[in-house]
């Protein structure tokens, strides 16, 4: 009888330990799932925060009829700029980012000079020596429309790095081509369109 009592107690203890182990396994699995879900949520939030689009309407300046928009999209560590303009004279026109997000003056000069946080000389974006705002040229066809797509990992939107952050800068389109040599602005002529990245 005593042996039976001891055997029953041992069996009860074994079952209790086995149930406890299973509960702990379930808790561990549940915690792992929660952590995994939290990581996925965090990664989704990071990618959502990183993705940003700003549509910049372009207004006429210096007596021109230029209108259109420039759309900036930040995604996967790069900023893409898509330009769609009309009302330009046929031919080549410079386009730059300028230091001030201010298009209040009739000639667009309220936008200041080229955005140049690293104090470099003006030049060709692909040439190594250039302002951060030295995008280059675009071509207007016979009916005065121009399109350009430009992307870079040297810019960011609404980030903490002032030498890369394009938010609050001006977009300027000029009357003629940038020669990539004349200092400080490439001899690109009058400012015929202006927009603010905001």
Spans of all domains in the chain: 1-50, 52-196
153-174 confidence digits (pLDDT tens) = 999 999 999 999 999 999 999 9
- How far apart CA 173 and CA 66 sit, in angstroms, is 9
58-71 confidence digits (pLDDT tens) = 999 999 999 999 99
pLDDT at 62: 97
Cβ pair 191, 64 in contact under 8 A: no
pTM comes to 0.73
Q: What is the mean pLDDT of residues 42-49?
A: 45
Other beta carbons within 10 angstroms of residue 10's beta carbon come to 10
- Domain 52-196: homologous superfamily in CATH: Superoxide dismutase, copper/zinc binding domain (2.60.40.200)
Q: Report residue 42's pLDDT band, with 50, 70 and 90 as the boundaries.
A: very low
Query: Of 21-25, 119-123, 148-152, which range is least confident?
Result: 21-25
pLDDT at 7: 53
Cβ pair 192, 59 in contact under 8 A: no
Tokens of 89: 């004279």
Highest mean pLDDT among 42-56, 65-79, 113-127, 184-198: 65-79
Ramachandran category for residue 164: left, alpha or beta (phi over 0 → left; psi -120 to 50 → alpha) = alpha
Q: Report residue 191's pLDDT band, with 50, 70 and 90 as the boundaries.
A: very high
- How far apart CA 87 and CA 146 sit, in angstroms, is 9
73-83 confidence digits (pLDDT tens) = 999 999 999 99
- How far apart CA 55 and CA 72 sit, in angstroms, is 6
- Nearest-Å Rg of the Cα atoms of the chain is 30
Q: What is the mean pLDDT of residues 32-48?
A: 52
93-130 confidence digits (pLDDT tens) = 999 999 999 999 999 999 999 999 988 888 676 766 76
Tokens of 4: 């039976």
pLDDT at 190: 97
């Amino acid at each position: 009888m005593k042996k039976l009592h001891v055997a029953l107690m041992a069996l009860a203890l074994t079952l209790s330990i086995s149930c406890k182990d299973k509960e702990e396994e379930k808790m561990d699995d549940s915690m792992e799932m929660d952590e995994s879900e939290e990581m996925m949520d965090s990664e989704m939030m990071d990618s959502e925060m990183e993705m940003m689009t700003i549509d910049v309407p372009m207004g006429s300046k210096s007596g021109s009829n230029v209108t259109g928009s420039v759309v900036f999209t930040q995604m996967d560590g790069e900023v893409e700029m898509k330009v769609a303009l009309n009302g330009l004279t046929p031919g080549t026109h410079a386009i730059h980012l300028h230091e001030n997000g201010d298009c209040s003056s009739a000639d667009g000069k309220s936008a200041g000079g080229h955005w140049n946080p690293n104090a470099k000389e003006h030049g060709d974006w692909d040439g190594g020596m250039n302002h951060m705002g030295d995008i280059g040229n675009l071509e207007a066809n016979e009916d005065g429309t121009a399109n350009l797509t430009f992307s870079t990992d040297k810019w960011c939107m609404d980030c903490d790095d002032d030498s890369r952050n394009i938010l609050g800068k001006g977009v300027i389109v000029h009357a003629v081509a940038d020669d990539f040599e004349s200092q400080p602005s490439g001899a690109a002529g009058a400012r015929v369109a202006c927009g603010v990245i905001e």
